[in-house]
Amino acid sequence: MIDSFVKDIEPSLMKWRRDFHRKPELGFTEYLTTYLIGKELLNLGFTIYIGQDALVSSERMGVPDQEILLQQQERAKAEGVEESWLEKMQGGHTGLAARFDTGKPGPHMAFRFDIDALPIKETSQGTHLPNQKGFRSHYEHVMHACGHDGHTAIGLGVAAFLSACQENLCGIFTLLFQPGEEGGRGAMAMVDKGWLDDVDYFASGHIGIRHSNVGVVSATTNSFLASTKLNVTYRGKAAHAGLEPEKGKNALLAAAAATLHLYSIPRHSGGKTRINVGKLHGGSGRNIVADEAKLEIETRGETTAINHYMVEEAMRILHASGELYGVETEIETVGNTVEADCDQEWIQWLSEVAGQSSYITEVNEAMPLNASEDVTFMINRVREHGGKATYMVFGTPIIEGHHHAAFDYDEDVMSVGVAAFAQIICKFTQQKEVTG
C-alpha cells in the first residue's frame, strides 16, 4: 500500500530535506540543487531536461548579474557539480523538467516543486532544529526559510513512488523542479517551454502557510494575490555636503521620499492591495551628497487588474519623486505573478482518497493564501488547455512564520505531501493495486 511505501522512504525524505537546507541557493543560482535533484531522478529512471532544454531563457525575470552567476557557478563546481552540467546551466539556467512515460495509455499528470531559497541569515539559536541536528545553512545570508527544501524532498519522494510503482500505473508524468519562485521569476519560463500544454491533471503545493497540524491538507487554495516586483535606481550628482551642497542632486532623498509616498497609495475598493519597500540602499558617506540610491519594492492586488492599479500608482510616485529632486529614475520589472483559481473538483477527489491513507487526517476545502505565487501561471495554462489544476497546502505547526530567520516545520509533513500526491496519482492512473 501507499502508506507502507511512504513509511519506507521517510529516512530519504529527511536526508534530502536536510541536504538541501545545508546548501541553499537563491533563484537562478540553484546549480548544486539542480544537480543533486537530477542525479536522483536519473537513478530513478526519469528522462531529465536541464538548461535551456527545460525553460525559455528570455522569460526568466530578475536574473542575477553575470558576476554573481559566475561566483555561484564556481562554488557549485567546488561542491562537486560536474562540468558538463554546469555548461548546460551556465548563465542562470537552473531548475529541471523530468518526464516519466509508463508506455501505457493514460492521462498526463504534472507536478511542480519550487527549489530556491531566500536572502536571509539563518538564526543561530540553540532551540532551532537545524542547529540542534547540524543542518543549519552553510551559506551565510542564504536560507530555506519558506519550506522549498521540503517541497524539493517531496518531489523526489513522488518521483521515487512513480519509479517503484510504474508497473501498476499508466500514462505520462511530468515533474517540474522550478527555479526562482521567490519574487515570481521562474514559472513563466517553464510554462512557455510547453510542458503543461497537454496536461490533464496538475498539482503543486506548499508546506505551512498558517499554523496547523500535520496531517491536515487543504485540497485547494484561493486568494492568490497578483504581484509585481520592481527594482528602482535613482541617479543624481555627488557634491561636497559642506562646501558645495547646492551642486549636488540627492538620489537618497528621492528614494526616501518615494518610500514614504508609496505607502500613501489609496486602497482599492475592488479588493485587497499591498505595497512594500523591502530594501533601500544609497549614498557613499555622511559628507557626500548621495549620487545613487536603490529601492526594491513590490505591489500586490487581489486581482491582476487591481495589482495593475497599484503598479501604475507606484510608477507615478517613483517618477515624481525623482523629478522632485532632479535625479534620473530607472525602473526595472524583475518579477510578476497573476491571479488564478483552482478547480473545485480537487476537493472531492482528495476527500475520496484521504481515507485510504493514515497520513492524511483531515481535508479542508480551501486555504486563503493572501500572498503571491507564480504557480498561478502554471494553473492558468493547464486550465486554458482543458486540464484540471490545484494548489494544495500541507499543514504543520509553525513557531516562526515564513521568511523568518528561525522558520522551521515538522518534518513529518513531507510524508503527508508524498502520500497526498501518490493517492491522487493512483486515483487517475492505477491499473491494479499498488503494493510498493
Interval 103-148: pLDDT, tens: 999 999 999 999 999 999 999 999 999 999 999 999 999 999 999 9
Closest Cα to residue 129, out of 413, 399, 397, 408?
A: 408
Q: Which fold has domain 2-224+339-429?
A: Aminopeptidase (3.40.630)
For the chain, the average pLDDT equals 97
Closest Cα to residue 15, out of 120, 141, 133, 138?
A: 133
> 436 pLDDT band (50/70/90 cuts)?
very low
pLDDT at residue 35 in the model: 98
In the predicted model, what is the mean pLDDT of residues 333-354? 97
Q: Which three cell numbers stand for residue 209?
A: 502557510
Give the residue extent of every domain in the chain.
2-224+339-429, 226-336
d(CA 62, CA 380): 22
10 contact partners, CB below 8 Å, separation of at least 6 = 414, 415
d(CA 170, CA 103): 7
361 contact partners, CB below 8 Å, separation of at least 6 = 213, 215, 216
In the predicted model, what is the mean pLDDT of residues 12-25? 98
Does the reported pTM lie above 0.85? yes
Contact 416, 264 (CB under 8 A): no
Domain covering 226-336 in this structure, CATH number: 3.30.70.360
Q: Which three cell numbers stand for residue 154?
A: 517531496
Per DSSP, the residues of 207-249 read EEEEE--TTEEEEEEEEEPEEEEEEEEEE-B--BTTT-GGG-B
DSSP bridge pairs for 240? 288
Element (H, E) at 12: helix 2-22
Whether 298 has a pLDDT exceeding 80, the answer reads yes
Whether 427 has a pLDDT exceeding 90, the answer reads yes
d(CA 203, CA 342): 10
d(CA 206, CA 216): 12
146 contact partners, CB below 8 Å, separation of at least 6 = 117, 118, 182, 402, 403, 407
Report which of residues 96 and 430 the model is more confident about: 96
In the predicted model, what is the mean pLDDT of residues 10-39? 98
In the predicted model, what is the mean pLDDT of residues 23-32? 98
Strands 47-50, 273-282: pairing kind:
unpaired
In the predicted model, what is the mean pLDDT of residues 31-37? 98
In the predicted model, what is the mean pLDDT of residues 399-409? 96
DSSP bridge pairs for 330? 233
> 435 pLDDT band (50/70/90 cuts)?
very low
d(CA 370, CA 302): 8
Per DSSP, the residues of 69-108 read HHHHHHHHHHTT--HHHHHHHTTT---EEEEEE-SSS--E
> 331 pLDDT band (50/70/90 cuts)?
very high
For the chain, give the percent of residues with pLDDT over 90.
98
